[in-house]
Chains A and B, each alone.
Chain A
Amino acid sequence: MAGISLDNLSFKYPGAQDATLSKLNLNIANGEAHALLGASGAGKTTLLNILSGLLRPTGGVLRFDDLDVSNQQGRERNVAQVFQFPVLYESLTVAENLAFPLKTKKLQSKVITQRLDYICSELELDELRSVKPAKLSLFQKQLVAVGKALVRPDVSLVLLDEPLTAVEPRVKWRLRQTLRRVQADLKVTMIYVTHDQTEALTFADRVSVLTAGGILQTGTPEEVYASPEHEFVGHFVGSPGMNFLPANALGVADAERVGFRPEWATLTGNQPSSAQKRGHLHGSVLRIRVQGAKAGKPFGLVTMATSQGEIAIRGYIPDTSITAGDSLGVCVHRCIGYTNELKVSDIEFL
């Protein structure tokens, strides 16, 4: 296992105008589960290819522990990778697939059996040992692909490239939990690339939000969600993302704009107060999206048009008779102030 460090790491494709990655700095501890979160085009795949050794950085240094591997061949790095879609040998059984990376390393058969037993029990694959991939569900196939990545005893880094894309939504969490458990048990350094916030925030000890070749924030899932350092992070993490308004809309003076999460505000009924109070807004209802009901009370997402922009509010819908066009008050409990897209203050309204 190894700690990974990126020191002003840059990459520019030959002939390209702009760098795909520019001056990334990041330290990932040995045994850490780290997620790289970003939209397509943010440079996630390029960074993965640099980590695995398929591409060489055009600037800066990549280190595995203290070793500069920037120019090292991929096969010298002991990096294992799990792809979006399970890559297995169709003609081999599960056990043969799992043993394959060990056999190519010419390990002793005793060691191979040991590793195989260990991985099969860790991933609960024992009953599938003699099955061929064609008989497996996508979930099981991807589990075997994960097993293939982890089976080598000398692996220093495991890269996961959106490994849950192909898995059915309702079983995704199981695979994610299995990955998380194995990661913690084996103390493997794992880098998980995804555009999906649930995947990133659930899987990782720490998350880096990547956009247009740069890292905007690295932090624990709680930090990234509750305290976005950059407006883009607030927009990108969360569904829907943060609401942004000019700061004066909430009576905030020390920032250009304010951002608040849909659940940091509540609807306050039909009569907007006439006096402008800090943290209070009013607007008219654009859309109501009921997402369920609890003890008879419907809850969901209400989109509102205010004089300063559109906002979304999540929670109970106070009055079931409200419809599009109704005028409602909004009470914001907490917001973050931003100037030049960067966080400058954190405000709680009483």
Chain B
Amino acid sequence: MLELSNICLRSSDSVPFIHTFAAGEISVVLGANQSGKTDLCRLVAGLNTRASGNVCLVGTSLDRVSPRRRPVSMVYQAFVNYPNLTVFDNIASPMRARKQSSQTIVQAVNDLAEKLRISELLGRFPHELSGGQQQRVAIARSLAKQAQVLLMDEPLVNLDFKLREALEVELRDLLRATNTVVIYTSSDPRDAFNLGDQLLLLADGEKVQTGTPLEVYQKPNSMVAMELLADPGINRFSRDGTSCALRPEHIGVQDGKITPAGLMSFDMLVTAYETNGDESFVHGQVEAQEWVMRSRGMLPVHAGQRLTVAAASQDVVHF
């Protein structure tokens, strides 16, 4: 258990917050660029940062512990490995630093290499690897340290799409099997669902909301929270003086002119249509706001078209 208190991530005028990360689960820290995600990681690791606050691991304060003595390991967005060491030696390095027996090291490295599917690369040097392979090595090395806290600062953001998809599933299974505090930062709401057991939403250096991904998704405490966990954004409107919002996936094209009970309908002027095959994104104007609708599959929709779109009243979030 990692307890943070008195945390100011960006400047002294932001509201300090407390937060507890549990061991054995993945905590996704979700926030836009510059929201303080990296500062949070650096604070926990004891590195230079503008963030301030107290860090306490299983009842012991880390505040006066030097970075190199903290039981913390970190994986960065960039692929950081020792260029002069082979993959084997890269992974072994944190264990060698702790003077573990060579027998233990060989076994642990082989074990990790197998889990991350880099066994056949152990004799190579980092420059002989692809980006995805390099990041696997960095992840294996961070796990070899067997630290109590694992910080992953957008580790998959620079990877190819398909590779990322595969590594996400592997990472999730691998990390949950360890009894580690895992802090995984991201700006992509999909990571929250794909990886997160728990969520911490950050905006402008402040804590916005916490909970399981589904809790935060279903009961966002503010527009900001709703927006952070929305892919790609939220749709605002107002009814009877209250601000309301809908998630893009909660809106669909309405068949026919009559709106069934329990649904709300809106007129949308389509401004753009995008698809990745799996899903379609229809951007448009509704009540002078920019909206986006997300549907499964591809739709016969084009810019300039007028659509009647509808959503279930129970999916409307009121603020």
Contacts and interface: CB of A to CB of B under 8 A. Distances in A.
Contacts of B161: 195-197, 239
A296 B162 CA distance: 31
B214 A198 contact: no
Q: How many B residues touch the partner, as a band?
A: 35 or more
A322 to B, nearest CB: 15
B276 interface: yes
Contacts of A315: 296
B250 A294 contact: yes
A173 B130 contact: no
Nearest to A138: B33
B129 to A, nearest CB: 12
Contacts of A237: 277
A295 interface: yes
Contact of B193 (A177, A236, A239, A291): A291
A41 B274 CA distance: 27
Given A202-B274, A221-B275, A173 B281 contact: yes
A244 interface: no
Contact of B232 (A170, A195, A240, A295): A170
Contact of B314 (A40, A195, A222, A296): A296
Interface in B152-211: 160-163, 165, 169, 187-188, 190, 193-194
A262 B279 CA distance: 12
B13 interface: no
A210 to B, nearest CB: 13
A295 B315 CA distance: 6
Contacts of A177: 272, 274, 283
A262 B277 CA distance: 11
- Most-contacted residue by chain B among A224, A262, A294 (CB, 10 A): A294
A173 B274 contact: yes
Contacts of B298: 221-222, 225-226
Contacts of A170: 32, 187, 232-233
B217 to A, nearest CB: 6
A225 B315 CA distance: 30
Nearest to A294: B250
A48 to B, nearest CB: 16
Contacts of B33: 168
B247 A40 contact: no
Contact of B247 (A173, A241, A292): A292
B32 to A, nearest CB: 7
B278 A239 contact: yes
Contact of A169 (B131, B132, B188): B188
B249 interface: yes
Contacts of B278: 238-239, 261-263, 314
B247, B249, B278, B296, most chain A CB atoms within 10 A: B278
Nearest to B312: A295
A158 interface: no
B123 interface: no
Interface residues of A, number: 43
Interface string A259-300: 001110000000000000000000000010111111110101
B281 A239 contact: no
A39 interface: yes
B83 interface: no
Contacts of B247: 292
B315 A294 contact: yes
Interface in A211-256: 221-222, 224-226, 236-241
Contacts of A202: 274-276
Given A168-B33, A239-B165, A40 B277 contact: no
A201 B277 contact: yes
B297 interface: yes
Contacts of A173: 232, 272, 274, 281, 283
A343 interface: no
B104 interface: no
A132 interface: no
B242 interface: no
A176 interface: yes
Contacts of B187: 168-170
Nearest to A300: B193
Nearest to B130: A40
A170 B33 CA distance: 11
B218 interface: yes
A193 B297 CA distance: 23
A239 B283 contact: no
B162 A290 contact: no
Contacts of A201: 275-277
A224 B298 CA distance: 12
Nearest to A225: B277
Nearest to A203: B274
A293 B217 contact: yes
B217 A292 contact: yes
Interface in A174-204: 176-177, 180, 195-198, 201-202
A148 B104 CA distance: 57
A23 to B, nearest CB: 25
A293 B160 contact: no
29 contacts: A39-B160, A39-B162, A40-B131, A168-B32, A169-B188, A177-B283, A195-B161, A197-B276, A197-B277, A198-B274, A201-B275, A202-B274, A202-B276, A225-B298, A238-B277, A238-B278, A241-B162, A262-B278, A263-B278, A287-B169, A289-B194, A290-B214, A291-B193, A292-B193, A292-B217, A292-B249, A294-B249, A295-B315, A314-B296
Interface of A: 39-41, 168-170, 173, 176-177, 180, 195-198, 201-202, 221-222, 224-226, 236-241, 261-263, 287, 289-296, 298, 300, 314-315
Given A40-B132, A221-B275, A263-B297, 12 more contacts: A169-B188, A196-B161, A197-B161, A198-B274, A201-B277, A239-B161, A263-B278, A287-B169, A290-B213, A290-B214, A293-B217, A295-B314
Closest 8 CB pairs of A and B: A225-B277, A198-B276, A295-B312, A202-B274, A195-B160, A177-B272, A196-B161, A197-B276
